[in-house]
């Protein structure tokens, strides 16, 4: 199975900050990488697919980049509604594994 490792596991930031979350795959996955946001008690929400494509309806302050084994999710200017847990997921091969999550908290 492909292991996905996110860093950091938790992050404190302020409204207006620029934030970057990193995801590393245990082997090359090309650009088969998705990002999700999850708020407590809610279902995950797709933000980015194929490493850099913004899902319809997702604010443009979210962006994704990377290829191979290293990927990043960037939020250009944090808004109050962005405080949540973020997961990367590889879709290169089954099982479609997730990172352990990055909890983004208000500083």
Partner 1 sequence: EVQLVESGGGLVKPGRSLRLSCTASGFTFGDDAMSWFRQAPGKGLEWVGFIRSKAYGGTTEYAASMKGRFTISRDDSKSIAYLQMNSLKTEDTAVYYCSRRRVWTGSYYYFDSWGQGTLVTVSS
Binding stretches for partner 1 (CB under 8 A): 1, 31-32, 34, 36, 38, 42-46, 49-50, 53, 55, 87, 89, 91, 94-101
- The smaller minimum CB distance to partner 1, of residues 16 and 41, is found at 41
- The smaller minimum CB distance to partner 1, of residues 53 and 77, is found at 53
Cβ proximity of 37 and 45 under 8 Å: yes
Shortest spacing between CB 77 and partner 1, in angstroms: 25
- The smaller minimum CB distance to partner 1, of residues 69 and 103, is found at 103
Shortest spacing between CB 103 and partner 1, in angstroms: 11
Measured over the CA atoms of residue 43, residue 48, residue 50 and residue 53, the dihedral's sign is: positive
Shortest spacing between CB 15 and partner 1, in angstroms: 26
Cβ proximity of 52 and 64 under 8 Å: yes
Q: What is the dihedral of CA 60, 82, 19, 44, to 10 degrees?
A: -90
Write the CB contacts of 36 (distance below 8 Å, at least 6 apart in sequence).
Answer: 44, 45, 46, 47, 86, 87, 88, 89
- The smaller minimum CB distance to partner 1, of residues 34 and 82, is found at 34
């Amino acid at each position: 199975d492909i292991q996905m490792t996110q860093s950091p596991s938790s992050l404190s930031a302020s409204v207006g900050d620029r934030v970057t979350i990193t995801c590393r795959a245990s082997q090359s996955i090309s650009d088969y990488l998705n990002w999700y946001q999850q708020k407590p008690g809610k279902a995950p929400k797709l933000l980015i697919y194929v490493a850099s494509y913004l899902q319809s309806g997702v604010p443009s302050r979210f962006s994704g980049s990377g290829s191979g084994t290293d990927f990043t999710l960037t939020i250009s200017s944090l808004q109050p509604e962005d405080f949540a847990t973020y997961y990367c997921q590889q879709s290169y091969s089954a099982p479609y594994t997730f990172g352990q999550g990055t909890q983004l908290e208000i500083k």
